[in-house]
Structure 1
Amino acid sequence: MCVPGCMEMVHKRLSRRGFFKGAGVAAVGAASFQAFAPPRPAQAAPASFSKVVDLTHALVADFPTFFGTPQLEVEAMFGFEKDGFNVNKWHLVEHTGTHMDAPLHFSKDGLSAAEIPADQLVLPLAVIDVKARAAEDPDYQVTAGDLEEWEAAHGRLPEGGCIAMNSGWGAYVATKTFRNADAEGNMHFPGFGIDATRLAMERGLVGLGVDTLSLDRGLSADFATHYAWLPSGRWGMEAMANLDEVPAIGATLVVGAPKVVGASGGPSRLFALV
């Protein structure tokens, strides 16, 4: 299903040109660095789809947050009955709800959300299902071996694309299990391990997505994946929804990222064209 002209637009976006120039990667722990070649254009895919899957959670004031306190307040400025129109003022922390981590989030001078080129926001989507492993171990980290196992089943990860972790955590979004904090305040939810992150970089991926509150697992003390992935010019997406409705390979991700100057990220609307 597609309105007139959108097929041509999708095809154009999928025939993308290059990625951020001069991308380097921050290593973990000590301040050592390992260079990765910049991603090349994603391979063109058929510009057709039969359904649109919304990968975005509805954002409400009590949406669970990494820091445990509300990060959204909606204040009514004008109301229809009194003023004839509605206008609200939002008091919002950037990293709330289904949201983007821009390179600037974990780097001194990386790209802000507004600076990410539009043609890097329509891209092939790969989904790795680790629900069974996460059910056994809430602290599970996606490994390079997991990605290699995915490639053995589905082919090479799509260069210039996004890989999203489906841990099943989206089902917990309205419960305390989404943060899964223990008595000491330590959170227990899955994320990407650093070896998987480095392999994704070697494969030339652009985006890294999770259905949890962080690219790193909840117990992470060093944010190794954040510090490796984001300073290299790539972006992340956290608290993704409905990944069960997307195939392991073949979908196109459309990212409605915030275009706010200087933003380190922000709530985003995500669609998978399947």
Structure 2
Amino acid sequence: MSALAAFAEALATGRIEVVDLTAPLSSGTPVIQLPPQFAQTAPFELEELSRYDDRGPAWYWNNFRTGEHTGTHFDAPNHWLTGRDGDDVASVPARRLIAPAAVLDFSAQAAADPDFLLEIQHVREWEKAHGPLPEGGWLLYRTGWDARSDSQQDFLNADESGPHTPGLSPACARWLAEESPVIGLGVETVGTDAGAAHSFDPPFPCHAALMGSGKYGLTQLQNLAALPPTGAVVVAAPLPIVSGSGSPSRVLALVDRG
């Protein structure tokens, strides 16, 4: 039996489970809010074209409007100034959209402190227990933040000082981008950076370092709790938007339950 035939059989029998890591996309999907002097992304909306009526008697369809970075989405290198000459989302090699994943669970720490930051030492300690991060794979950072995704207010968790959501320290972001073997970072929050990252030195270090290193981001993931620390394979499927900086994406994980 070929490897592909064995894979198809494992899918059919349920030995390989498909876990959907994608947040449902609707008008209620939380979106990032920038300071008012900057342009804002559009929330997701549908415009009905016809629904089995005189506008189209046998079909239902819609236009939709949203931002590239709405809901579960993929950040391409050209999303940030540091990667301005890098790939757009349509130029990301297809082979890089299927990759192994390491799942680092810091949900308890984030529950105790919404401003919790992942440090290099945290990753090193995880590696001692589970082995090295996967070459050409993803670091998926579980914080439990997906439980807040049905509320814009709870998801952004902002007060007069700004948003409070977990993320990476500047040192960890640089290390992940410049020294680690992974191709990108996946998170459950609205963006790859911590809520307070506007005040970091440098600001927004995940975006700056990852995009500048030709790496990628996946955001607003769900169901990371269903994944093992190692062994899952992630399928990230952004739309190939020519010159686009990112795209809403269907993100799936394949888990061997045999």
TM-score by length of 2: 0.85
- The residue aligned with 1:244 is 225
1:217 partner amino acid? A
1:62 aligns with one of 19, 22, 28: 28
Q: Assess if the C-alpha contact under 8 Å between 1:61 and 1:70 holds in 2.
A: no
Q: Is the partner of 1:51 in helix, strand or coil?
A: strand
Q: Is the partner of 1:152 in helix, strand or coil?
A: helix
Q: Is the partner of 2:59 in helix, strand or coil?
A: coil
Label 1:118 to 1:266 Cα distance change in 2 as closer, same or farther (>3 A): same
1:132 partner amino acid? A
Q: How far apart, in 2, do the equivalents of 1:143 and 1:49 lie?
A: 35
Q: How far apart, in 2, do the equivalents of 1:200 and 1:252 lie?
A: 19
**1:141 maps onto 2:121 in alignment:** no
**1:234 maps onto 2:207 in alignment:** no
Q: How far apart, in 1, do the equivalents of 2:15 and 2:232 lie?
A: 8
Label 1:6 to 1:72 Cα distance change in 2 as closer, same or farther (>3 A): farther
- The residue aligned with 1:87 is 61
Q: How does 1:169-208 map to 2 (within 5 A)?
A: 169-175=145-151, 176-182=153-159, 184=160, 186-201=162-177, 202-208=179-185
2:45 aligns with one of 73, 78, 86: 73
Question: How many matched pairs?
Answer: 232
- The residue aligned with 2:11 is none
Q: Is the partner of 1:134 in helix, strand or coil?
A: helix
- The residue aligned with 1:108 is 84
Which portions of structure 1, spanning 4 or more consecutive aligned residues, are displaced by more than 3 angstroms?
none
Structure 2, unmatched stretches of 5+, are 9-13, 35-40
Q: How far apart, in 1, do the equivalents of 2:97 and 2:237 lie?
A: 8
Measure how far apart 1:103 and its partner are: 0.5
Label 1:206 to 1:49 Cα distance change in 2 as closer, same or farther (>3 A): farther
Measure how far apart 1:206 and its partner are: 0.3
- The residue aligned with 1:7 is 7
2:156 partner amino acid? R
How far does the alpha carbon of each residue in 1:153-205 deviate from its partner, in whole angstroms, 9 at most, with x for none?
A: 000111110001100000010122211011x2610000122222233231221
How far does the alpha carbon of each residue in 1:40-74 deviate from its partner, in whole angstroms, 9 at most, with x for none?
A: xxxxxxxx952010000001112111117752111
Q: Is the partner of 1:85 in helix, strand or coil?
A: strand
Label 1:208 to 1:6 Cα distance change in 2 as closer, same or farther (>3 A): farther
Q: Assess if the C-alpha contact under 8 Å between 2:192 and 2:207 holds in 1.
A: yes
Identity %: 39
Label 1:80 to 1:185 Cα distance change in 2 as closer, same or farther (>3 A): farther
Q: How far apart, in 2, do the equivalents of 1:220 and 1:269 lie?
A: 26
The CA RMSD measured in Å over matched residues stands at 1.9
Q: How far apart, in 1, do the equivalents of 2:79 and 2:170 lie?
A: 18
- The residue aligned with 1:265 is 246
1:129 aligns with one of 99, 105, 124: 105
Q: Is the partner of 2:110 in helix, strand or coil?
A: helix
Q: How far apart, in 1, do the equivalents of 2:32 and 2:71 lie?
A: 10
Q: Assess if the C-alpha contact under 8 Å between 1:163 and 1:208 holds in 2.
A: yes
1:120 aligns with one of 85, 96, 110: 96
Structure 1, unmatched stretches of 5+, are 9-47
Q: Assess if the C-alpha contact under 8 Å between 2:42 and 2:65 holds in 1.
A: no
Q: How far apart, in 1, do the equivalents of 2:49 and 2:243 lie?
A: 26
TM-score by length of 1: 0.80
Q: How far apart, in 2, do the equivalents of 1:231 and 1:205 lie?
A: 14
Measure how far apart 1:93 and its partner are: 0.7
Label 1:6 to 1:67 Cα distance change in 2 as closer, same or farther (>3 A): farther
Q: How far apart, in 1, do the equivalents of 2:154 and 2:121 lie?
A: 27
Q: Is the partner of 1:86 in helix, strand or coil?
A: strand
Q: Assess if the C-alpha contact under 8 Å between 2:76 and 2:246 holds in 1.
A: yes
Q: Assess if the C-alpha contact under 8 Å between 2:74 and 2:238 holds in 1.
A: yes
